[in-house]
Chain A
Amino acid sequence: MAVARTLRIGIDAGGTFTDCVAERADGSLAFHKLPSTPEDPGRAVAEGERALAGDESAGILTHGSTVATNAFLEGRMGAVGLIVNRGLEDVLAIGRQSRRNLYSLAPEGPRRLVPEERIRGIGARVSASGVAVAALNPAELERAAAELVAVGARTIVVALLHSARHPAMELTARQLLETAGYRVVASHEVSAEAREYERWATAVVDAGLAPVVSGYFTGLGARLRAREIRVMLSSGGTARADEAAARAISTILSGPAAGVIGARLAARAAGFERLVTFDMGGTSCDVALVPGEPVRTTEAELDGVPLRVPLVDIRTVGAGGGSVVWRDPAGALRVGPRSAGAVPGPACYGTGGSEPTLTDAHLLLGHLDPARFLGGRRPLDPALAERALARLAAELGAGTRETAAAAIAIADAQLERAVRGVTVDRGHDPADFTLVAFGGAGGLHAARLAGSLGCRRILIPRTAGTLSAVGCLAADVRRDVARAILEPASAVSGRSDAWFEALEREAEAALRSENVPPERRKTSRSLSMRYVGQSYEVDVPADGNEDAAERFHRAHTERYGYSRPEAPVEIVAARVAAVGVGREPELPTHRPSGDDTPDRRSLWLAGRVALVEAWRWAALHAGHESLGPAVVFDDHATALVPDGWRWRVDGRGNLVLELAA
């Protein structure tokens, strides 16, 4: 009963590869992977579309992009002018007055987001209770904006104290300037955060990214054949490109969010619901908790800059295949945080790198197939890996293989800390979750990591190499809106409906403009709450069936092990998420190809050499089941199954590892 569908394409442009997937009219999926073109990311995206769409009529293309992330990290942002309350012109530069490195003789403060000459103070002022203690003077405001434009500002950010809770004055300022012809962003419209530095910084980053992001998507529109271009948002949803460009900061973690959504799709199709996603590539590793829905946060930071907008809560650690293995002057073996990157790359690439990396360690221990790395495009030289590691081992007075194994164990400890950060630190037991491992190195570390966390099950999706692209196809349309409240929970009864209804109207309007039919719209309400005096909130669903404070006490106990039922509770913000439920692609059934007899290789596993079966993933039959130790090779991923784990291949070709016994 296949219904003819529009061609849908998902493309995730990562640092190394651009991954593409197409859902054809009959629902079947086609995959394509090509090298990224970082100097012009759109080129690879356009090539990917051409390769998959061919002559088919143009459809919808959803794009996971690192354009915003890179522009932010490299400081390539549009010139922003900032208008704040007089006397507070330096607040953005001071930040929280702390230094980034505790033990540095040349301490540094936060990154400077707006230069001094592009900041102006005006006499307007609202008190904490919302009283205008100094009125907004339109002439002064416009003069400030004109001066900022004269010194090069392209966008004006209006950032006033208490605007999250009392937005009226900031709103008026924004409207006045817009009427006068300026491009303007009001801080409270970007973030509901009730701390001035964090909200202002978020708004400034949004305004700075806007021209970069909109320029990129406009250019892309001209190159692509798709009739609609959509963007993967950091929240795990999607928006039409023009909508996303209007709130550019919402795309800042676009790519990693696509990975989480793709992992969730693959895991659900395999029958698993509660997940820890674990994406380990060449330079870093992204970890997220998905207890059904991905956990979201409004407390993220990137490069020390607060980003107070809803994001999939992804913890990143600087441990990847390229992480350098080294010895410090006090004689200890260390891993990272420096990465050999793609240039000079791991020693075994033979491209000039002489320092050993995690990839070299795995190669030396037989965990990688030198001939098949990256589909044979990058043959590895085990002799170079051995030379680099042997030199280090000699300095340490240890064996070469022992050194390689110890480096992997150190990386595992760093990965474990990241996973604990998203599970145990939030009151979740990893044993209740399935670890979904992907990225080139995910399958190499998954079993050891799961073992030390007490996770009993691992899923390594067959589509591990293109999971982020699949995530682009699978994501819902999404719009998050919020309003700062900052009132005692006991004082708001009855009024919360009015807040929620206003937020729902705003969110629904966004879905309407995205042409989401009413039957596919879904909204959910939540309240961010805390004990009076705390500065971290717990998000509690607010469906009206139960007292919000009760729910908060329980959530607090779950997360932190105690609650204080007698203590006053405060509502920090009301939030609404509006979702246009998407159509999830059907992942293909597995069609094995080639000879499925394993060869035997000696691998170094768990402290000794073992002769293990080495399988070709593509040749394995669905239903195949056996016990570790084993290694499964594929073009873009390798899975290592230690002793004590049972593994099988499911109908979609996924590897499922379960702790035996």
Chain B
Amino acid sequence: MERIDPRARSDAYGNRINRSHSTFLATVVPWGSILLASILPLFPIASALPLLPPLGFLLLLGWRLVRPGLLPVWAGIPLGLFDDLFSGQPFGFAIMTWSLALIGIEILEGRLPWRAFWQDWFTAGIVVGVYLIVGWLLSGATPNIHSLIALVPQLVLSILLFPILSRIIARLDRFRLHRWRTI
């Protein structure tokens, strides 16, 4: 069989004989990666101005747009709760905005069921832009024009980062569904 078609007994996720997906990984990877991305902006630099893109939110958008149907609509509640603990925004901000973003994308998807990556990128760009501006308005501090200007580099970085994050998510998805050796 292998001589006719070398891929006959395997698929994109590995050999099919004697191997199967891990339920644990299949469930944990998307949620775990978003949680990890929520903590990540704490680490690299103690900066005087906001610089890093909201990685947790970008990853949530990524999973939602790259793999629709994987995260439930209510995923924004537990994930947002966790993000609120670390993000520095007032508590409840991520719970609200992440839920609203997921509901919004759900509605949008009802209208435009078939999309290419460009549309996904466009959607993510708009959603991140709105998210950052709402975050600026509801940060608990008095919004002024200077902190709005300071948002621009962060916004540009976030939009440019989305394709890269999508590729990373695709890789994570392959890892999620990798076939492991079973007895």
Q: A and B bound?
A: no
